[in-house]
Structure 1
């Protein structure tokens, strides 16, 4: 069982709602002289980032940094991905319209977002972390443990942060391993865990 968690400004693609976009990484630096960018992925297995043909860039910090959603929405820019490959723990991408090092450096710090609908289909017993956020966590005794409010990487496996979605207060951290996770029902947004409420 595992988790994954056109020309610049010119190619036509309607701007999606921020609520439908998933942040997959951030541009760390330029790579080489041909306009390639070096991306620091948020996942150790950035399959969605590597397979995306179109991405959105935002030079605005995360919304929780005090930037209004409307301002961030207006800052989004679409790019076609010409090539993406892994290189020493980062993803190196070539974007249509970014042709030299100066253009690539101008994008440093930008967040990379893609639509959830473009993610490749997850393999059996694998899940995208973004799909687990918001699921209700229950144990084998049918006790509600809380809601999945975050997922993080912890060495060899993921960790589910369970708590109160409205306050974002984490009550429990549960390893996302097959010995604990008994069932994931994404259509009904329920995860069954072999876990006690007082652990």
Structure 2
């Protein structure tokens, strides 16, 4: 999840949260996710209601944060797992955050019912990643091994920490490995084989 040669992860990544690898480069068609890739990409999350007329706070994962407002139709994944569509009526920055009003949400009670919902977009609607860049969701399920040949399991999810983004894998024998997702540690991504080569000792993962 580095960015254009930077080793550190940007505080906020592009829509869907891009990551970058270094080393031998991309194998497979650039910018095209494998068939098993996740369809939905998380762009943000709804927070607490704002005011009494149905407005709601929004945590944006796009860079800049206002980029989320460019998507006029939002798909909301509720706590139940159900997905519902809501058209963005209006949105703006407020006190360093975003607030938005969605179609059909008329008062504070209806806005509160959406608190915690994840804002998603169809993967196909996002711009293709640049050279040696990947959307995190496209790499979930990939097998990970290090330069010594140790198998670190399959990518489960990503975690943002104060020191940078971390790729979490489920180890073959159980448990987890946490691997920094900075470009200097991501040596190669093979989209066709669904594998990732990392420069990170197994004992530290």
TM-score range, shorter chain: 0.5 to 0.7
Shift of 1:56: 2.3
Question: Cα deviation per residue 1:137-189 (whole Å; 9 max; x = unaligned)?
Answer: 1222444322111211122421111223796x30x211111221112233432
> Does 1:154 pair with 2:161?
yes
In structure 2, the CA distance between the partners of 1:58 and 1:82, relative to structure 1 (3 Å rule), is same
> Does 1:178 pair with 2:183?
yes
Give the TM-score normalised by the residue count of structure 1.
0.65
Count of aligned residue pairs for this structure pair: 171
What is the CA–CA distance in structure 1 between the aligned matches of 2:142 and 2:55, rounded to whole Å? 37
Is contact 1:140–1:194 with CA below 8 Å preserved after alignment?
yes
- Flag structure 1 segments of 5+ consecutive residues without an equivalent: 6-18, 62-71
- Flag structure 2 segments of 5+ consecutive residues without an equivalent: 4-12, 19-37
Residue 122 of structure 1: SS of its match in structure 2?
Answer: coil
Shift of 1:86: 5.1
Kindly report the root-mean-square deviation, in angstroms, between the aligned alpha carbons of the 2 structures: 3.3
Residue in 2 aligned with 1:13? none
What is the CA–CA distance in structure 2 between the aligned matches of 1:47 and 1:134, rounded to whole Å? 30
Residue in 2 aligned with 1:138? 145
Residue in 2 aligned with 1:37? 56
Is contact 2:157–2:169 with CA below 8 Å preserved after alignment?
yes
Is contact 2:75–2:85 with CA below 8 Å preserved after alignment?
yes
Higher helix share: 1
> Does 1:191 pair with 2:178?
no
Shift of 1:35: 3.3
> Does 1:129 pair with 2:136?
yes
Give the TM-score normalised by the residue count of structure 2.
0.64
